């Protein structure tokens, strides 16, 4: 691509962790995502990122899929953290935007809703419920009760529920993919890494709960089956609710295909 330095990574999607790689609509012969680390003082506008907050930008530039990581506030975990984030963000772009149908209800979210709920401690009731089900399943219970999780989600106010269902749709598959490729199933190591990845991040349990939900989904449905449903636009939360009898009502149709995700210009600093 004109005027860009070499990327820090070219990230392919691993078909062992994501069985649906043949569904990815790569815009050119490249079957990988170009990953850049941005800088707040970059002379290339595409690579210019915020100095004060973490920023992840992605989309198609010419016929390449590009991810820009804005990490100036810092990350913990060094090279491993960079690889993990590159895998997570590349998955959003290639496997989700360019490889799955997206429910219309999850195409957009009001940034004010994200701000209001991403650090909301009240969501911890949901994450506690997932943790408890996962603990029970790991202990050998093949039918852990979903009542507490269903009650926790049922009691959410509208904005919190919008935030949670939207984020679960996008983040859970991406997080499980990065976890699988980077940690190869070592949950304790991953959880400790994830809790420290960003300083002061009380919202990280959204992500760790997604990994636990995915493990429980796989033990019921198998990897290929849930991932086939995911590319058709079904969220992991909806599949989980059905598989474990949680009785959640989610409005996830109709779905659409994203033909071209434009790489957004840098926003204010």
Beta-strand ranges (E) seen in the chain are 9-11, 33-37, 55-61, 64-70, 102-103, 255-256
Task: Give the nearer residue to Zn ion in terms of CB position, either 146 or 208.
Answer: 208
In whole angstroms, the minimum distance from the beta carbon of 25 to Zn ion comes to 20
In whole angstroms, the minimum distance from the beta carbon of 206 to Zn ion comes to 10
Task: Give the nearer residue to Zn ion in terms of CB position, either 84 or 240.
Answer: 84
Contacting residues for 253 by C-beta, under 8 A, at least 6 apart: 103, 104, 233
In whole angstroms, the minimum distance from the beta carbon of 112 to Zn ion comes to 19
Task: Give the nearer residue to Zn ion in terms of CB position, either 32 or 56.
Answer: 56
In whole angstroms, the minimum distance from the beta carbon of 171 to Zn ion comes to 5
Distances (CA, A) of 28 to 60, 62, 84, 224: 11, 9, 25, 26
Task: Give the nearer residue to Zn ion in terms of CB position, either 87 or 126.
Answer: 87
Query: What's the gap between Cα 213 and its chain centre?
Result: 13
Distances (CA, A) of 30 to 5, 27, 66: 17, 8, 11
Task: Give the nearer residue to Zn ion in terms of CB position, either 44 or 195.
Answer: 195
Integer Cα distance of 141 and 133 in angstroms: 9
DSSP character at residue 145: -
In whole angstroms, the minimum distance from the beta carbon of 170 to Zn ion comes to 6
DSSP character at residue 6: P
Task: Give the nearer residue to Zn ion in terms of CB position, either 47 or 174.
Answer: 174
Integer Cα distance of 237 and 80 in angstroms: 28
Backbone angles phi, psi at 231, to 5 degrees: -70, -20
In whole angstroms, the minimum distance from the beta carbon of 92 to Zn ion comes to 5
Integer Cα distance of 228 and 30 in angstroms: 23
Task: Give the nearer residue to Zn ion in terms of CB position, either 128 or 171.
Answer: 171
Enumerate residues 165-194 that contact Zn ion by CB under 5 A: 171, 174
The 50-89 site mask, x for binding Zn ion (CB under 5 A), equals ----------------------------------------
Beta bridge partners of 36: 68
Judged by CB under 5 A, which stretch of 23-31, 37-45, 115-123, 164-172 contacts Zn ion? 164-172
In whole angstroms, the minimum distance from the beta carbon of 163 to Zn ion comes to 14
Residue numbers at the binding site for Zn ion (CB under 5 A) = 171, 174
């Amino acid at each position: 691509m004109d005027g860009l330095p070499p990327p820090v990574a070219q990230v392919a999607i691993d078909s062992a962790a994501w069985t649906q790689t043949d569904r990815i609509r790569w815009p050119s012969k490249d079957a990988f995502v170009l990953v850049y680390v941005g800088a707040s003082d970059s002379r290339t506008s595409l690579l210019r990122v915020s100095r004060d907050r973490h920023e992840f930008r992605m989309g198609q530039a010419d016929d390449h899929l590009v991810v820009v990581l804005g990490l100036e506030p810092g990350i913990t975990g060094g090279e491993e953290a960079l690889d993990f984030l590159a895998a997570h963000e590349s998955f959003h772009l290639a496997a989700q935007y360019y490889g799955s149908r997206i429910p219309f209800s999850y195409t957009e979210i009001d940034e004010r809703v994200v701000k209001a709920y991403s650090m909301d401690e009240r969501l911890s009731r949901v994450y506690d419920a997932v943790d408890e089900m996962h603990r029970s399943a790991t202990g050998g219970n093949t039918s852990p009760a979903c009542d507490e999780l269903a009650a926790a989600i049922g009691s959410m106010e509208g904005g919190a529920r919008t935030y949670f269902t939207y984020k679960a749709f996008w983040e859970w598959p991406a997080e499980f993919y990065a976890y699988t490729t980077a940690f190869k199933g070592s949950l304790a190591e991953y959880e400790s890494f994830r809790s420290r990845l960003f300083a002061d991040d009380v919202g990280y349990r959204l992500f760790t709960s997604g990994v636990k939900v995915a493990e429980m989904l796989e033990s019921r449905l198998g990897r290929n089956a849930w991932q086939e449903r995911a590319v058709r636009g079904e969220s992991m939360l909806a599949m989980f609710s059905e598989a474990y009898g949680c009785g959640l009502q989610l409005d996830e149709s109709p779905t659409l295909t994203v033909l071209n995700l434009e790489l957004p210009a840098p926003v204010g600093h």
